[in-house]
Amino acid sequence: MVIAITREISPRFNECEITHIKRTPIDLDVARTQHHEYVNVLKTLGCTVFELPAETDLPDSVFVEDTAFILPEIAVITRPGAASRKPETESILRALSPYIKLIQVREPATVDGGDVLVLGKNIYIGLSSRSNQTAIDQLNELLREYGYTVTGVKMHDCLHLKSAVTRVAEKTLLINKSWVDTHPFENFDWIEVDPVEPFAANCLPIGESIVFPTSFPKTRAKLENKGYKIVTVDVDELAKAEGAVTCCSLIIQ
């Protein structure tokens, strides 16, 4: 069984943190409709979805990915880099605890789940404005007994590592190589985003399918030409808060 944890959109979503894009007004009704469609896609793909209620005073809390990352053996509760987001982990800890063993990142480490890319026993963390070297050092200690190695990756011009590179399959990555140091990923096959779609590197594999935004048809065509089954979802309104398809769920397999 695949479990997906999601959270409804806060009524204060327009007060979300913005780092690398210009702030534009978010239509809450449209954002909620898009989020519901996203949840329905997860259900269609076989996920058992647990939908948490909106956190009224936490504008970014729909982006549950940043509060944790899930490994086969254990889940790691993060310590988000933005002060306004640190309280988000409390309800996620409660939501995850029935399903998997938990450990927590501690102060002064900061790490957003959007900066965490798990590729087998190698975990890559973007050295961003939200995630620091202290978190990498701490996670190497916490996860050593499970056989994981945690490595920092230099990046720029985007919020999170998974804005620039995500996993498509075991040995294949979707990547915008203009935003990330590609050296750590030299042993993988790359599907490069179309140059006119720099934000297209974020995709979400679920089973045999890839959840992907409707906004990037040129990159979608590249994925389909490689034989991947693409399921599209409109997340344009969520993208105004620097969100994407991995951001809105925590997947337990």
Question: Is residue 2 helix, strand or coil?
Answer: strand
CA–CA gap between residue 220 and residue 242 (Å, rounded): 20
Residues annotated as catalytic are 160, 247
Closest CA to 224 of 235, 204, 209: 209
Tokens of 202: 């974020």
Compute CA 143 distance to the chain's CA centroid, rounded to the nearest angstrom: 20
- Name the burial class of residue 150, with classes exposed (0-12), middle (13-18) and buried (19+) by CB atoms within 10 angstroms of its CB: buried
* DSSP string of 7-49, one letter each residue: EPPPTTGGG---SSS------HHHHHHHHHHHHHHHHHTTEEE
**Cα 107–Cα 112–Cα 118 angle in degrees, nearest 5:** 115
CA–CA gap between residue 152 and residue 248 (Å, rounded): 23
CA–CA gap between residue 178 and residue 181 (Å, rounded): 8
* In contact, 113 and 166? CB cutoff 8 Å: no
Q: What is the length of the chain?
A: 253
